[in-house]
Amino acid sequence: MNLFTYGSLMFDEVWSRLVHGAYVKRAARLRGFARRRVQGDVYPVIVRSHDGDWVDGVVYFDIDPDDLRRLDLFEADAYDRQSHVILVEGCEEHWADAYVLKDGYRHMIHDCQWDPQWFEREALPIFLGNYRGFH
């Protein structure tokens, strides 16, 4: 199973605290979704949007079932893990799962988009400090 990531899991500092396996990762894009910040926090969510919208992220290939269980626990109840076609490095289509915010949790969404560069530069240390117990 492949996993498309669009937020904190794109960053090695977070990913390596959650999984035990070593996985190939590549840049990828998910169409028809929008990425937004969560109110009062530093991580994002994705929700279904217009077909012209897309979310850039990273896909990890062939995730081990034990690591996938750990990732499911990390993402918790607010998300559905759904399978979608992604575009890898602009040219290859693959199927991958992605954690999509459930409709019942849409009240968590902030109006502004989430910026990965901002997260890496300013929020990653905060995130790592708040989410120490990954294992």
What's this model's pTM, rounded to 2 decimal places? 0.94
Ramachandran assignment for 40, one of left (phi > 0), alpha (psi -120 to 50 degrees), beta (any other): left
Q: What is the pLDDT at residue 130?
A: 84
Q: What is the pLDDT at residue 133?
A: 60
Q: What is the pLDDT at residue 129?
A: 87
**Where are the domains positioned within the chain?**
3-130
Question: Phi/psi at 36 (nearest 5 deg)?
Answer: -130, 155
Q: What is the pLDDT at residue 66?
A: 96
Ramachandran assignment for 38, one of left (phi > 0), alpha (psi -120 to 50 degrees), beta (any other): beta
Domain covering 3-130 assigned CATH 3.40.50.1820 in the classification: no
Distance CA 6, CA 94 (A): 16
CB atoms within 10 A of CB 45: 25
Identify the CA nearest to 43 among candidates 54, 60, 57, 26: 57
Q: What is the pLDDT at residue 109?
A: 94
pLDDT in tens, the chain (135 residues): 999 999 999 999 999 999 999 999 999 999 999 999 999 999 999 999 998 899 999 999 999 999 999 999 999 899 999 999 999 998 999 999 999 999 999 999 998 899 999 999 999 998 998 876 654
